[in-house]
């Protein structure tokens, strides 16, 4: 007996219900392509050009000097030596960003879990409260932060009662505190989004199987909110790496992050090509981080898209 099979009919190319027309997506994509692509192109091109002998701008002569200058210093006597200044700045930025990411992560998981376990009405209110800082300009908030952590601010005055010295403003701790404060909501929100979808019956099942509280958190809850944690890390770490407002206003310019140096080269220092080269380096390092994160996510067979 032979089985007769008819080939499946070719399905008409129609959008599935709920799938929006690609045309609607064109406009924002074109806008983003221009708004990101053109400045990026300019930066990359500038980074390979010479600095004019006078004034700002660029001289249209190709050179690799800008990249060399990131790592190597040319002394007056013509000899060269390793220049660690920019590596140090990059390291400082990286270090601040890691601390910010870790602290916001540790603070956000319990907060997100707590919000996710409230009833629907309270949940909406609490999420609104988390997003409340977005209503106020980051500049104003950072000014506010400066008042609070100032030596003579409320914290300082309070600690003064116990004769404890308080002086963190215009030093690294203030910068880090400012970063944590600004980026905390960006960590809480994606983790909350994952936690809200968590099925608490799984936690009950784990208890029933003999797991204690911390084991349930570690082995059942945390793996379930992993996608939110990964998104949160990306949303905090990447912008933290490129932030300059906190080190400028709270760190007092003494503790430079890489973005401060870039801004300085486009401003006072009037060295656009070198600023561009440093910016390109920052972009490359950020991309590298994104790829590592994505690799880590994919190895677990999870769908986490960062780029």
Partner 1 sequence: MNEKYLEIRNITKVFQTPEGGEVRALDDVSLDIASGEFFILLGPSGCGKTTLLRSIAGLEYPDSGEIVLQGERIDDKPPYERPVNTVFQSYALFPHMTVSANIAFGLEMENVDKAQVSARVTEALAQVRLEGYENRMPSQLSGGQQQRVALARALAKKPKVLLLDEPLSALDLKLRRGMQVELKRLQRETGITFVFVTHDQEEAMSMGDRIAVFSEGKIVQLDTPVEVYRRPVNAYVADFIGETNLIKGTVVAGGISLPGGNILPTDQLAADSVIPASGEVTVAIRPEDLVLATNGMISGTVRDVIFTGDSVRVHVAVGDVEVIASLASYGTQIPEQGSKVTLNPEHRAARTVAS
What is residue 103's three-state secondary structure? Answer: helix
Does 224 help bind partner 1 (rule: CB under 8 A)? yes
C-beta closer to partner 1: residue 160 or 223: 223
Contact 288, 94 (CB under 8 A): no
Name every residue whose Cβ is closer than 8 Å to that of residue 175 and which is 6 or more positions away in sequence.
Answer: 96, 246, 247, 250, 251, 255, 257
193, 207, 285, 294: residue in contact with partner 1 (rule CB under 8 A): 207
Does 199 help bind partner 1 (rule: CB under 8 A)? yes
18, 78, 210, 295: residue in contact with partner 1 (rule CB under 8 A): 210
Using the contact rule CB under 8 A, the part of the chain among 47-55, 56-64, 151-159, 204-212 near partner 1 is: 204-212
C-beta closer to partner 1: residue 16 or 201: 201
Q: Would you state the structure tokens that stand for residue 302, as one six-digit string?
A: 């999870």
Name every residue whose Cβ is closer than 8 Å to that of residue 221 and which is 6 or more positions away in sequence.
Answer: 113, 195, 198, 203
Contact 148, 154 (CB under 8 A): yes
Q: State the Cα–Cα distance between residues 240 and 286, nearest whole angstrom.
A: 11
38, 131, 136, 204: residue in contact with partner 1 (rule CB under 8 A): 204
23, 212, 299, 303: residue in contact with partner 1 (rule CB under 8 A): 212
Find residue 72's DSSP bridge partners. 82
State the minimum distance, in angstroms, from the CB of residue 18 to partner 1: 22
State the minimum distance, in angstroms, from the CB of residue 220 to partner 1: 6
Number of H helices and number of E strands within the chain?
14, 4
Does 193 help bind partner 1 (rule: CB under 8 A)? no
Q: State the Cα–Cα distance between residues 289 and 238, nearest whole angstrom.
A: 8
25, 98, 202, 284: residue in contact with partner 1 (rule CB under 8 A): 202
223, 254, 292, 296: residue in contact with partner 1 (rule CB under 8 A): 223
Using the contact rule CB under 8 A, the part of the chain among 21-29, 141-149, 220-228, 259-267 near partner 1 is: 220-228
Q: State the Cα–Cα distance between residues 179 and 157, nearest whole angstrom.
A: 23
Contact 307, 294 (CB under 8 A): yes
Does 218 help bind partner 1 (rule: CB under 8 A)? no
13, 15, 78, 119: residue in contact with partner 1 (rule CB under 8 A): 119
Residues within the interface to partner 1 (CB under 8 A): 119, 199, 201-202, 204-212, 215, 219-220, 223-224
């Amino acid at each position: 007996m032979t089985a007769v099979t008819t080939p499946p009919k070719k399905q008409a190319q129609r959008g599935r219900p709920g799938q929006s027309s690609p045309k609607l997506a064109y406009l924002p994509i074109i806008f983003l392509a221009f708004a990101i692509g053109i400045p990026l192109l300019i930066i990359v091109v500038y980074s390979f050009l010479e600095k004019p002998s006078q004034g700002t701008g660029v001289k249209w002569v190709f050179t690799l000097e800008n990249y060399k200058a990131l790592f190597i210093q040319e002394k007056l006597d013509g000899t060269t030596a390793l220049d660690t200044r920019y590596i140090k700045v990059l390291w400082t930025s990286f270090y601040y960003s890691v601390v910010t990411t870790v602290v916001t992560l540790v603070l956000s998981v319990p907060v997100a879990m707590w919000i996710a376990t409230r009833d629907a009405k309270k949940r909406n209110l609490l999420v609104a409260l988390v997003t409340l800082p977005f209503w106020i300009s980051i500049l104003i908030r950072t000014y506010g932060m400066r008042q609070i952590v100032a030596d003579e601010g409320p914290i300082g005055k309070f600690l003064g009662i116990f004769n404890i010295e308080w002086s963190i403003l215009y030093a690294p701790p203030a910068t880090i505190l400012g970063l944590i404060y600004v980026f905390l909501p960006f960590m809480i929100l994606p983790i909350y989004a994952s936690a809200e979808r968590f099925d608490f019956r799984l936690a009950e099942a784990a208890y029933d199987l003999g797991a204690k509280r911390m084991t349930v958190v570690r082995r059942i809850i945390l793996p379930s909110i992993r996608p939110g944690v990964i998104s949160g890390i990306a949303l905090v770490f990447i912008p933290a790496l490129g932030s300059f407002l906190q080190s400028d206003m709270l760190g007092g310019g003494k503790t430079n992050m890489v973005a401060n140096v870039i801004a300085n080269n486009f401003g006072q220092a009037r060295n656009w090509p070198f600023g561009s080269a440093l910016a390109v380096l920052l972009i490359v390092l950020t991309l590298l981080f994104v790829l590592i994160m994505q690799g880590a996510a994919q190895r677990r067979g999870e769908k986490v898209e960062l780029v």
